[in-house]
Amino acid sequence: MSNPLTPGIAAGRLSADEIAENFADLHAPLDMHEARVAADRCYFCYDAPCVTACPTEIDIPLFIRQIANGQPESAGRTILNQNILGGMCARVCPTEDLCEGACVREAAEGKPVQIGRLQRHATDSVMARQGHPFDRAPATGKRVAVVGAGPAGLACAHRLAMRGHDIVLYDAKDKPGGLNEFGIAAYKSTDDFAAREVDWLCQIGGIELKPGHALGRDITLDGLKAEFDAVFVGVGLGGVNDLDAPGAERDGVQDAVGFIAALRQADDLTKLPVGRNVVVIGGGMTAVDASVQSKLLGAENVTIAYRRGKDRMGASEFEQDLATSKGVRIICNAQPVAIHGNGAAAEIELEYTADDGSGLKGTGETLRLPADQVFKAIGQTLTFEGLALDGRKIAVTGAGRTSVEGVWAGGDCTPGDDLTVVAVAEGRDAAEDIHATLMGVAAPETGAVIGEAARA
């Protein structure tokens, strides 16, 4: 069914069977035999470069050795000890740029150990069993507010709850998960995994979820400081940059973040409208996710237009190759100058760019592409005010300490790479610093593992 204002955008371009096939799991899980074979390729390096490349500092050789020895649940606990969202990270991490990119076998053979898939095998094994792998410490009587139930907030809440504190976890949306729930391509997180992971994580106890509570609208920083012993802010980046081009207000022009969120929450993808000719503006992971999923929904022609060179794209080389393998065209060194149409988008005009060393400039040469649907994937912005900024993000020192005493922050709202695994590391480390501050003890080294006594 098409929209009368934008006739090129329609639902039901593909059958339910075609949609199901297109949105199947990107990487099928390994069975026990496959996992042990994959684990046997590891050299179990001393001072392993893969560990250094992991923002959460998982002991990768150890967990792979445990899989090789037929102990996937032990391997899972090794992972979750450092990264409580290790299941999702196994699915969405750019492993080709992190652990697998640093793998010795990648350097020697161009074929790294399948660390991401092995991590999924291990964490799925733990999550499949009854009970939670960690126990809470005795109650401390301290209460901490965690604002934002995305990767940073969830990691922070879990670690603090495990340390014996009581947590109230607020989120602006009607369900927790943040980026994992609303912002990742559906073929990377199938079978409602993000929601199941949150439910599993909260089995630690001591975490009260309060969805539908936005900072600045329903709760305030001053109010939280008065009510709680500490506050952690992990609100992500809620705003979307505007497209500065004539015609950007036309029907059919929308932000890619909203499209991905709608797709992730849709009960029936055959009813989700998509254009016939789709153009995505941007070069990051969001641009790739929006473009690939448009193609999988049945768009005939999908193009990514990025203003800089291919080597400057935020999306990894793997993700770029994934997009092109699905039929997405990538045009680099091209920026939008206008969106044409009679009320609704019909065509986009792009100008080629060049950088002569003094900055990016338009060359004056243009091209036009049919475009009944244009997605903006040109970056997100912080919408929260009240803390000192570092550029356009919340300024932090140490393990997430902000300019306001008693308030910590982490995740995409603070400087650093906007990756799930980075957010988890920042939430975890902030939690340890909060715990040390509240209890008057020395904070552990960054990335320190939890104590054996806290294990189930």
Whole-structure pTM value = 0.94
Going by C-alpha positions, the residue among 240, 255, 282 that lies closest to residue 383 is 240
Residues contacting residue 178 through CB under 8 Å, at least 6 positions apart? 148, 149, 150, 151, 153, 154, 171, 234, 236
User: Same domain for 163 and 216?
Assistant: yes
User: Same domain for 247 and 361?
Assistant: yes
Q: Is residue 5 part of a domain?
A: no
Q: Is residue 224 part of a domain?
A: yes
pLDDT for 453 equals 32
pLDDT tens digit sequence for 59-70: 999 999 999 999
User: Same domain for 352 and 407?
Assistant: no
Going by C-alpha positions, the residue among 66, 133, 65 that lies closest to residue 452 is 133
Read off φ and ψ for residue 354, nearest 5 degrees: -150, 155
Q: Is residue 96 part of a domain?
A: yes
Which residue bears the tokens 């020697």?
108
Last residue of some domain: 128, 153, 186?
A: 128
pLDDT tens digit sequence for 34-60: 999 999 999 999 899 999 999 999 999
User: Same domain for 372 and 397?
Assistant: no
Q: 425 pLDDT exceeds 90?
A: yes
Torsion angle of alpha carbons 430, 433, 439, 440, nearest 10°? -160
Domain CATH code at residue 348:
3.50.50.60
Q: Is residue 170 part of a domain?
A: yes
User: Same domain for 226 and 258?
Assistant: no
CA gap 63, 77 in Å, rounded: 9
User: Same domain for 366 and 303?
Assistant: yes
CA gap 42, 35 in Å, rounded: 12
pLDDT for 60 equals 98
Structurally, the chain folds into a number of domains equal to 3
pLDDT for 442 equals 79
- Domain range enclosing 311: 16-21+242-376
What does the block give as tokens for 161?
């709850």
User: Same domain for 275 and 345?
Assistant: yes
Last residue of some domain: 128, 163, 181?
A: 128
Q: 141 pLDDT exceeds 80?
A: yes
